Amino acid sequence: MKIDNTIAAVVTGGASGLGRASAEALAAAGVRVAIFDVNEAGGQAVAEAIGGVFCKVDITSEEGVVEGYAKARAAHGQERIVVHCAVVSGGGKTISFDKETGVYKRNPTEMIARSAEGIFTASYRIASHGALGMANSDPLNDDGERGVIILTSSAASQDGQIGQVAYGGGKGAVNSMVLPMARDLMDLGIRVNAIVPGIFATPPMLAVKDRAPAIFAGLAASVPFPKRLGHPPEFGSLVLELARNGYFNGQCIRLDGAIRMPPR
């Protein structure tokens, strides 16, 4: 896909972290970017900085997502790139000891359902609404390409840690969705890929640095090379390459400094 100012994109979770880095990378290449986020102040600030548009969107709301796409398309036209970084997730061990009652307790099913909705279902919602708009638009090039969808998974989908049944399971479902969705959309010229990031210096991880610097240092040291957390712009640069390179399709690509995380 030729990346320039004729192309529009939607980036979810664009107010911070990996989403912000993706929005900035695309905008720097000339793309007209719409940011979907629930963080109105942060999302508006990023949108203004990159010359984009902010849409307040809750990814767990069907109506909200539809309205967000309508606002983005009214401002920029049909998006040809969708980057989905936003996430809503639960957590907790399957069985844990309750110190107050002195007995073991079970992580409630509702916590798993929250992650299923906020990770897998939301990923389908964002991707499918974007794909519908692309499908009803003209091809961009001689290959018949109409657009690309880039989902965000996690190393936890393959190396899930203690307490990550909900999160790791949800991200694993995203991985499993990529290839069948790519095949669903192949005749329409719409590509689908996922980035599987390791440990990145996003706001939640930087909060760990403030609360527990020794743990943070240990996480950085656990990365084979380079021995540090990933920089969000490195994620953004891969987003840009996946959009540009029309032969990337149906792939889940790890971006993790070769880390393979043992249980901890």
What does the DSSP assignment read for the chain?
---STT-EEEEETTTSHHHHHHHHHHHHTT-EEEEEES-HHHHHHHHHHHT-EEEE--TT-HHHHHHHHHHHHHHH-SEEEEEE---------SEEEETTTTEEEE--HHHHHHHIIIIIIHHHHHHHHHHHHHHTS--SSTT---EEEEEE--THHHHPPTT-HHHHHHHHHHHHHHHHHHHHTGGGTEEEEEEEE-SB--HHHHHHHHH-HHHHHHHHHTSSSSSSPBPHHHHHHHHHHHHH-TT--S-EEEESTT--PPP-
Tokens matching residue 166? 């909900």
**Which residues are tagged catalytic?**
167
Q: What is the pLDDT of residue 225?
A: 96
* Mean pLDDT computed over every residue of the chain: 95
CA angle 76, 152, 243 (to 5 degrees): 50
* 121 contacts 223 by C-beta, under 8 angstroms: no
Cα 4 to Cα 79: distance, rounded to the nearest angstrom: 13
Q: Give the tokens for residue 55.
A: 């849409």
CATH fold for the domain made of 8-200+235-255: Rossmann fold (3.40.50)
What's the pLDDT band for 264 if we cut at 50, 70, 90? Answer: low
- Give the integer Cα–Cα distance in Å for 120 and 125: 9
> Prior bond to 226 cis, omega within 30?
yes
Return the minimum-mean-pLDDT range out of 3-12, 34-43, 186-195, 201-210.
201-210
Cβ atoms of residues 171 and 153 within 8 Å: yes
Between 16-20, 91-95, 207-211, 242-246, the lowest mean confidence (pLDDT) is in 207-211
Strand 252-255 versus strand 95-98 pairing type? unpaired
Q: Which two tokens stand for residue 153?
A: 């998974």
Residue pLDDT, tens place only, 51-86 = 999 999 999 999 999 999 999 999 999 999 999 999
Segment 138-149, tens digit of pLDDT: 999 999 999 999
What span, in angstroms and rounded, lies between the C-alpha atoms of 54 and 42? 10
Tell me the per-residue pLDDT of 108-155, one tens digit each, with 9 for 90 and over. 999 999 999 999 999 999 999 999 999 999 999 999 999 999 999 999
Residue spans of the domains in the chain: they are 8-200+235-255
